[in-house]
Amino acid sequence: MAGQIIKRGDRTWLVRIFMGRDANGKQKFHHKTIHGVKRDAERYLTAVRREMDLGVFVEPSAMSLNEYLDRWLRDAARPRVSRRTADGYAGLLERYIRQPLGHKQLDKLQVLDIQKVYGEMLACGLSARIVRHAHSALHNSLKQAVKWGLLSRNPSDMVELPKVPHKERRVLSAEEAQEFLKAAAVMPHGLIFEFALLTGMRPEEYLALQWSDVDFERCTAQVRRALVRHKKSWSFEEPKTARSRRTVYLPAPLLQKLASHKRQQAEARLKLGAAWQAFDLVFSSEEGTPLSIPNITYRYFRPLLTKAKLPRIRLYDLRHSCATLLLIAEENPKVVSERLGHSTIVLTLDTYSHVLPHMQQSASARLENMLYNKGSAQGSDTTVIQTKTGSS
């Protein structure tokens, strides 16, 4: 790869490197003005040629980080991910990255620049989790810059991230869950929270549930969409993951309450007439529109906890309570994973690892009973096994 060093003035040198030919056969050159002695220009020429030999040289760009992020969101992120995820990326970048780093030239962005921003975020009282979310958005964007040939490497790869402290989830015990259901039976919108506890669905899933998703004969509800709130609007979108599209079986008492709720909703719809907005939602506002998670949390969920004399938990913790109660009841973790719509059973076991010691203790007790405690139970088990073997 040819290169030239041309003197342009006192202590000024032009480094000119042949880069090949474009699609039309026209020669392409990389030009760089170096201020200093000729040895400085020679070092630059050698470094660039080495990078070109290794295939990691990237033509410097005058594009700022802000300009690049606009392009990335428009051309890469939004066409590929859901609107909810893209809006999340845009919000994180706007709040934490653009102001301190957006003015910098993209190819001049350094590891220390990013590390400083993360340190300042922590110093301002932001959590390690928020820092990691902001990092995820920035890292994904810069990863695409490498693919597009705008960067030779991703500077965010080398950043040290803060550890997220372990925080034990507060969930309802079996006794607390019973008190919760008693209070829910007499509180406004209590059926929503009973449904959340018994199904383990995410709030955005049961608030998007339509009557066409409920099969009273098969005792099931199908998760087909999620309710996504935007700044001034809302939309129904695909569930969180492919596994999130699932069928959840419902207890008979809950189905009876849903049937009664459906009749009451139909009467309200008739009274409202043309003002009713027909989205076919199981849980809706008085006009038939989707409910807001913050609204039902503050207006209905927290008063319900107060009435039941229970500690303040998050609305999402009803999902965690459902999973924990099932695991404590020794339900198969695979079944629990499918009910929650987790992508893998590993995610379920990692998320609810606090339940595993109880399950291990129960497993040890069963082994002890099977192998050490001789009695009629052991003999009857053997008989059953022999009978099944013989009949097969």
pLDDT per residue as tens digits for the range 86-135: 999 999 999 999 999 999 999 889 999 999 999 999 999 999 999 999 99
Q: pTM above 0.75? A: no
- Let me know how long the chain is: 392
Name the CA dihedral angle for 116, 118, 120, 123, rounded to a multiple of 10 degrees. Answer: -130
- Give the C-alpha distances (Å, rounded to integers) separating 325 from 91, 166, 255, 328: 36, 21, 20, 5
Q: Are 72 and 117 in contact (CB under 8 A)?
A: no
Can you tell me which residue has the tokens 């099977």?
A: 370
pLDDT above 50 for 213? yes
Residue 179 CB-half CA count within 13 A? 13
pLDDT class for 43, splitting at 50, 70, 90? confident
Report, as an integer, the average pLDDT of 7-23.
81
- Output the average pLDDT for the chain: 87
The Cα–Cα gap between 382 and 378 comes to 6
